[in-house]
């Protein structure tokens, strides 16, 4: 196996890990905090999610000899960020994470269930995702209104980074955010000592609790967006690069890792699409049979980044909330545009998709259940009426 490693696969693996972590960790932190995680629990959750996706990617790549890239569910984290906490606090959210993991395992092991999930119309799944993402994607512009000297450098760095390479936009925005924090924000005395003291976060075990509110408001929407916007496209990327593999083992394995690390705050891991395109394509090496080594390198660096998640969490905690929301929003603009196109491309289903989108974006909460669930329900009812008509 060691002879299969090439300089190109190693470089691509490191780059994919940096892009995957730096481009969306802000979304994960924002989501965990929104559902009630303390700073220590958020750091533990970020660490657990990074280690879970790193180890899962290594295991799957070694088993299949294919460049299987695993990532945390960025759209799922965005869902958490707008859903808000439930009455049970973070323990109820962890219970929902476990339910979601069980559903992912079932989708891989029990084919009828997997087919039922795939039967959800793409237009409705994309409309729900677009509605979830919209409020976060507005955050960069709200940051400019909050303070132009803070918000504009982050937005301009993202634009310039995208001009150079589509993968550089969010890392550039992140560097601008760090610059704004150091030179523009009044940081408390001894902030450097705080970062050093919290470099490696302690894993925090959270005893899960279960309730109908968290299952319907968090677990089911989290499962749907993870499957529709991450796992299915991730499989498509592998197949587009001529890597044929059975989907079932990949799905239940990601569900298993999601469940094991959920009790430490990880919301969900899944097959990646963007980093998979980097690792499975020609950038991963000329010899397709050796590209799996790039995914292994990527997984190793995910684990390393996860072990130092405490520094990231401590530094972000010093920032005005709107700035970290701005970085998270910029990381999601690409996903939002893809979701909007997928939601409204079917003219017949467009009214149902519009209902789903508006209900999901409204932020409403009925009976303690978030708008994402009600958006999917309303869209399904509308689609049924349209078909009968």
Average pLDDT of 158-185? 82
**Average pLDDT value over all residues in the chain:** 83
pLDDT of 368 higher than 60: no
Which of the two residues, 329 and 91, has the higher pLDDT score?
91
Helix-strand-coil percent breakdown of the chain, rounded to 5? 75, 5, 20
Measure the CA–CA gap between 142 and 321, rounded to whole angstroms.
11
pLDDT of 85 higher than 70: no
pLDDT band at residue 197 using 50, 70 and 90 as cut-offs: low
pLDDT band at residue 114 using 50, 70 and 90 as cut-offs: low
pLDDT of 61 higher than 60: yes
pLDDT of 245 higher than 80: no
pLDDT in tens, 198-222: 666 788 999 999 988 888 888 988 9
Which residues make Cβ contacts (< 8 Å) with residue 315, sequence separation at least 6?
178, 181, 195
Say what the pLDDT of residue 298 is: 92
CB 267 within 8 A of CB 32: yes
Which of the two residues, 51 and 15, has the higher pLDDT score?
51
CA-based nearest residue to 262, from 78, 110, 103: 103
CA dihedral sign, ordered 261, 52, 60, 92: positive
Say what the pLDDT of residue 370 is: 63
Say what the pLDDT of residue 385 is: 83
pTM recorded for the entire structure: 0.76
Say what the pLDDT of residue 117 is: 65
Average pLDDT of 282-307? 86
Average pLDDT of 246-256? 89
Length of the chain: 389
Which of the two residues, 40 and 187, has the higher pLDDT score?
40
Average pLDDT of 24-49? 89
Say what the pLDDT of residue 375 is: 79
pLDDT of 310 higher than 70: yes
Say what the pLDDT of residue 268 is: 92
Say what the pLDDT of residue 16 is: 81
Average pLDDT of 193-202? 65
Which of the two residues, 327 and 149, has the higher pLDDT score?
149
CB 271 within 8 A of CB 234: yes
Which of the two residues, 209 and 185, has the higher pLDDT score?
209
**66: its two tokens:** 């294919």
- Count of helix runs (H) and strand runs (E) in the chain: 21, 4
Say what the pLDDT of residue 263 is: 95
Average pLDDT of 8-33? 82
Average pLDDT of 110-115? 75
Say what the pLDDT of residue 60 is: 94
Question: Percent of the chain beyond pLDDT 70?
Answer: 90
Average pLDDT of 312-317? 71
């Amino acid at each position: 196996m060691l002879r299969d490693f090439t300089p190109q696969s190693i470089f691509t693996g490191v780059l994919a890990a940096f892009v995957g972590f730096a481009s969306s960790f802000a979304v994960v932190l924002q989501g965990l905090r929104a559902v009630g995680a303390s700073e220590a629990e958020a750091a533990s959750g970020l660490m657990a999610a990074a280690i879970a996706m790193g180890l899962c990617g290594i295991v799957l790549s070694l088993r299949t000899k294919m460049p299987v890239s695993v990532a945390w569910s960025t759209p799922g984290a965005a869902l958490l960020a707008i859903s808000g906490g439930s009455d049970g606090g973070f323990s109820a959210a962890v219970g929902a994470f476990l339910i979601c993991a069980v559903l992912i395992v079932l989708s891989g092991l029990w084919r009828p269930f997997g087919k039922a999930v795939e039967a959800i119309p793409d237009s409705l799944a994309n409309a729900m995702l677009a509605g979830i993402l919209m409020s976060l994607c507005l955050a960069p512009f709200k940051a400019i209104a909050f303070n132009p000297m803070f918000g504009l450098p982050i937005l301009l760095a993202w634009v310039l980074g995208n001009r150079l390479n589509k993968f550089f936009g969010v890392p550039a925005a992140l560097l601008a955010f760090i610059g704004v924090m150091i030179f523009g924000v009044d940081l408390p005395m001894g902030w450097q000592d705080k970062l050093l003291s919290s470099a490696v976060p302690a894993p925090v075990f959270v005893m899960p609790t279960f309730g109908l509110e968290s299952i319907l408001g968090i677990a089911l929407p989290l499962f749907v967006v993870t499957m529709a916007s991450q796992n299915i496209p991730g499989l498509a990327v592998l197949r587009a690069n001529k890597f044929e593999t059975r989907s079932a083992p990949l799905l239940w394995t990601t569900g298993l890792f999601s469940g094991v690390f959920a009790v430490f705050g990880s919301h969900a891991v899944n097959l990646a699409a963007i980093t998979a395109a980097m690792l499975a394509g020609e950038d991963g090496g000329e010899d397709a049979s050796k590209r799996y080594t790039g995914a292994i390198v990527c997984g190793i660096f995910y684990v390393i980044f996860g072990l130092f998640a405490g520094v990231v969490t401590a530094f972000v905690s010093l920032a005005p909330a709107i700035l970290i929301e701005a970085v998270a929003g910029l990381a999601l603009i690409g996903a939002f545009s893809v979701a909007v196109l997928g939601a409204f491309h079917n003219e017949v289903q467009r009214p149902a998709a519009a209902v789903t989108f508006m209900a999901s974006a409204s932020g409403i909460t009925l009976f303690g259940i978030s708008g994402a669930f009600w958006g999917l329900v309303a869209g399904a009812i509308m689609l049924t009426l349209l078909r009968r008509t």
